[in-house]
Amino acid sequence: MKAVIFSLLFFVSISSFAQLMNPRGGMNQRGRMGQPQTRNPQPQKPPAFDGKKAIGIVNYDPEKTAKKISLKKSGKKFDSFKKIIVKFNKEINDVARINSFTLSEAKVKVEGAQKLASETRDYSVLRNTYKEVGDLFKPIVEEVNKKEKELDNSLEPILSEKQFKRWKKYKQKRKSSR
């Protein structure tokens, strides 16, 4: 009887020792953790800062936009719509070009703060930089919003009520997806 208990105890200890010394080092077949795997995870890159996106600068393709708002591509309505959209795109690109130095300066500031924050794990620097850049962008954002309001006012008499509603929806979707 002692020999049976002794041999049973011996086999149980051998099998448990073998399970703990799993050569894969990770999860064994029963789902328990063995020795932890050592990995060197790559540090996560911070997202790239896009000043134009932060300000809300969006260019619209007249043909694609007309299709989205169900405006037929033949006729006077489309011609005037296209003329207004092209003029708006030109004005917005001028705003971006005039403020290109501010945009590039903000990009350098934010990317430097992101790098510093990831190295030091102190994200208050990043928060302060975003606030600083937001204050720097305020007049540009106001100008872009003014241009968009002018665009809406010039499109409202051309488009039907349903098309104008679709235009507002499409415009909002484009601004949020960028």
Using 50, 70 and 90 to split pLDDT, how confident is the model at 123? confident
Query: What sign results for the dihedral spanned by CA atoms 63, 66, 67, 72?
Result: negative
In DSSP notation, 120-177 reads H--THHHHHHHHHHHHHHHHHHHHHHHHHHHHHHHHTTTS-HHHHHHHHHHHHHHHHH
Query: Up-side HSE of residue 107: CA atoms within 13 Å toward CB?
Result: 14
89: its two tokens: 């795109």
Residue corresponding to tokens 């929806």: 169
Using 50, 70 and 90 to split pLDDT, how confident is the model at 135? very high
* Residues in contact with 175: Cβ distance below 8 Å, sequence separation at least 6, in sequence order: 56, 58
Whether the pLDDT of residue 38 is over 60: the answer is no
Mean per-residue pLDDT, 8-29: 62
**Of the candidates 64, 97, 34, which has an alpha carbon nearest to the alpha carbon of residue 170?**
64
Position 17 scores a pLDDT of 62
Position 93 scores a pLDDT of 94
Mean per-residue pLDDT, 75-90: 93
Position 43 scores a pLDDT of 62
Residue corresponding to tokens 């962008």: 137
Which residue pairs, CB below 8 angstroms and at least 24 apart, start in 29-34? Answer: none
Higher pLDDT, 37 or 109: 109
Higher pLDDT, 28 or 157: 157
Position 96 scores a pLDDT of 92
Cβ atoms of residues 90 and 124 within 8 Å: no
Q: How many residues belong to the chain?
A: 178
Cβ atoms of residues 89 and 60 within 8 Å: yes
Neighbours of 3 (CB within 10 A): 7
Report the share of the chain in percent with pLDDT over 90.
Answer: 47
Whether the model pTM is above 0.85: no
Cβ atoms of residues 174 and 65 within 8 Å: no
**Of the candidates 103, 102, 130, 134, which has an alpha carbon nearest to the alpha carbon of residue 46?**
130
Q: What is the CA radius of gyration of the chain?
A: 31
